[in-house]
């Protein structure tokens, strides 16, 4: 990435899932020309990554792919030999990836500070979610406090801000916002398992289905899957 | 790295400089079998990296090399075309690397949590230093607070701790500790410029020289360089 400073309005973390796709469209309307940052971190399947790239292409947003040297253990999302859980409990599930959002935000922060970008957007949500600690408002607040004391921009009084606009919305509310913005949900991918069609059983499939149901909207990913049968 | 959980006592961030070499010996005495983590992040020269590997080998400590996808701009340490500053001022110098310690600690944290390690050591120092914000005690405190709310280990009540034992010591004090522990300072490298011998003019050379002078100890790196003339 050799583009000069101040060219991008912001950085948007893009995963290929529903929340971050909505976020990209939401941010793009308010702050034209965001940079979408997509992380390759040893995911079980490429489907999520392909979805992220397809969404960015559709949105006309430039992508920075970042390869992250994550450990190969510690999560069912990194270890294909571990079984994915099929129901939500009140415990943090084994799909939790150690320090994932901390690492992603740190790298986005490094790029933001190096390129003079002052906003980093992340699509985390702490309402209809799997209980990951790094998706909660208290985490975002603590990360921002750390930026203020730990970066040059921070101590000079113009800290980069991590912004999580959807953190206290329901999945249905996010889907309604996205639908009004024309987010191509048929290109997104939420299922932990990869494959041709969503498994319908993992945490992530269940939360997505609940969101569309509560929003009273058909999930275009399922309609297109049905059409292709 | 396929070693099983709980095998390493701790992670020590190792740069090849004087402080982290001392730290490695200091930690190893208290907590046998640390894992040294060495980051490849686009440094101007390989000398620092070679020093880190030589120190770890001498200490008999296993190394995990981690390649970090840093931006290519934003610091004189990443851009060889930028001139290195030759004197300390009260401003943060252009050798500051955006979010460097934040990224390093985040990755170390990911490994620590994945492998069940509960301590991450970093050799930062806020007394005889270049004014980098991510070397100060308030940064370490804020990072630890962020870990407590942002990781599974943290919310479950056994957070990984980032520990910076030298943060309020003078360089001379660090050198005295290291000398008593037998740290091979002739293998370390502090100069920002690389090359055969330290430049003697950059911030880092000046801080090192001041440390040895105040400790009343000869810098074995300079003696060995003199011997090799």
Q: Is residue B2 part of a domain?
A: no
Pairing mode of beta strands B62-67, B35-40: parallel
pLDDT tens for A62-77 read 999 999 988 887 787 8
Inter-chain residue contact B149 with A156, CB threshold 8 Å:
no
Structural domain includes residue A6: no
**Where residue B80 sits, what CATH number does that domain have?**
3.40.50.620
The complex's ipTM? 0.92
Distance from CA of A196 to the nearest CA of B (A): 30
Contact A123, A19 (CB under 8 A): yes
Task: Report CB contact under 8 Å: A150, B139.
Answer: yes
Secondary structure of residue B30 in the 3-state scheme = helix
Q: Is residue B152 part of a domain?
A: yes
Tally of domains within chain A? 1
Contact B98 A106 (CB under 8 A): no
CA distance A214 to A211: 5
Per-residue pLDDT of chain A (229 residues; tens, 9 = 90+): 444 444 899 999 999 999 999 999 999 999 999 999 999 988 777 888 999 999 999 999 999 999 998 888 778 787 878 887 776 677 888 889 999 999 999 999 999 999 999 999 999 999 988 899 999 999 999 999 999 999 999 999 999 999 999 999 999 999 999 999 999 999 999 998 877 889 999 889 999 999 999 999 999 999 876 665 4
Residue by residue, DSSP assigns A121-186 as E----SSSS---GGGSHHHHHHHHHHHHHHSHHHHTT---EEE-TTTTS-HHHHHHHHHHHT--GG
Please indicate, yes or no, if residue A2 is contained in any of the structural domains.
Answer: no
Nearest beta carbon to residue A99 from set B75, B98, B113 = B113
The Cα of B97 is separated from the nearest Cα of chain A by a number of Å equal to 8
Q: Determine contact, residues B95/B193, Cβ cutoff 8 Å.
A: no
CB contact under 8 A, A155 and B133: yes
CA gyration radius for chain A? Answer: 17
Q: B66-95 pLDDT, tens per residue?
A: 999 888 877 878 787 888 777 667 788 888
Structure token pair of residue B221:
């790196």
Closest chain A residue to the Cα of B73, Cα to Cα:
A114
In a domain, B59, yes or no: yes
CA atoms within 13 A on the CB side of B17: 23
Residue-level pLDDT, tens digit, chain B, 229 residues: 444 544 899 999 999 999 999 999 999 999 999 999 999 988 777 888 999 999 999 999 999 999 998 888 778 787 878 887 776 677 888 889 999 999 999 999 999 999 999 999 999 999 988 899 999 999 999 999 999 999 999 999 999 999 999 999 999 999 999 999 999 999 999 998 877 889 999 889 999 999 999 999 999 999 876 665 4
Burial environment of residue B29 by CB neighbours within 10 A (0 to 12, 13 to 18, 19 or more): exposed
A166 in any annotated domain: yes
Contact between chains at B139 and A152 (C-beta distance less than 8 A): no
| Residue contact A72–B107, C-beta within 8 A | no
A-chain residues within 8 Å CB-CB of B97?
Answer: 110
Please check whether residue A156 lies inside any domain of the structure.
yes
Task: Return the structure tokens found at A13.
Answer: 């973390």
Residue of A nearest to B145 (CA): A142
pTM: 0.93
**Chosen from B38, B82, B152 to mutate, greatest number of chain A CBs within 10 A:** B152
Closest-CA residue to B45 (of B215, B229, B199, B220): B199
Domain assignment of residue A168, yes or no:
yes
| Boundaries of domain holding A165 | 11-227
User: Which of A72, A142, A150 lies closest to B133 in CB terms?
Assistant: A150
- Closest Cβ–Cβ partner in A107, A111, A133 for B150: A133
Of the candidates B71, B92, B113, the beta carbon closest to that of A110 is on: B71
User: CA-CA distance, B13 to B162, in Å (whole number)?
Assistant: 11
Chain A residues with CB inside 8 Å of B71's CB?
1, 110-111, 114-115
């Amino acid at each position: 990435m050799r583009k000069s400073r101040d060219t991008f309005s912001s950085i948007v973390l893009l995963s290929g899932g529903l929340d971050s796709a909505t976020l990209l469209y939401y941010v793009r309307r308010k702050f034209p020309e965001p940079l979408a940052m997509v992380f390759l971190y040893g995911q079980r399947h490429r489907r999520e990554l392909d979805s992220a790239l397809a969404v960015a292409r559709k949105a006309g947003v430039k992508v920075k792919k970042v390869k992250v040297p994550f450990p190969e253990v510690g999560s069912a999302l990194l270890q294909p030999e571990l079984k994915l859980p099929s129901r939500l409990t009140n415990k943090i599930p084994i799909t939790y990836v150690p320090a994932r959002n901390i690492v992603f935000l740190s790298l986005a922060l490094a790029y933001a500070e190096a390129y003079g970008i002052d906003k980093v957007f992340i699509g985390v949500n702490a309402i209809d979610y799997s209980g990951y600690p790094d998706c909660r408002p208290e985490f975002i607040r603590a990360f921002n406090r750390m930026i203020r004391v730990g970066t040059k921009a921070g101590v000079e009084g113009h800290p980069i801000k991590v912004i999580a606009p959807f953190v206290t919305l329901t999945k249905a509310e996010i889907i309604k916002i996205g639908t009004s913005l024309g987010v191509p949900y048929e290109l997104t991918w939420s299922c932990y398992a990869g494959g041709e069609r969503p498994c319908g059983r993992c945490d992530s499939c269940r939360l997505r289905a609940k969101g569309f149901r509560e929003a009273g909207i058909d999930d275009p990913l399922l309609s297109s899957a049905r059409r292709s049968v």
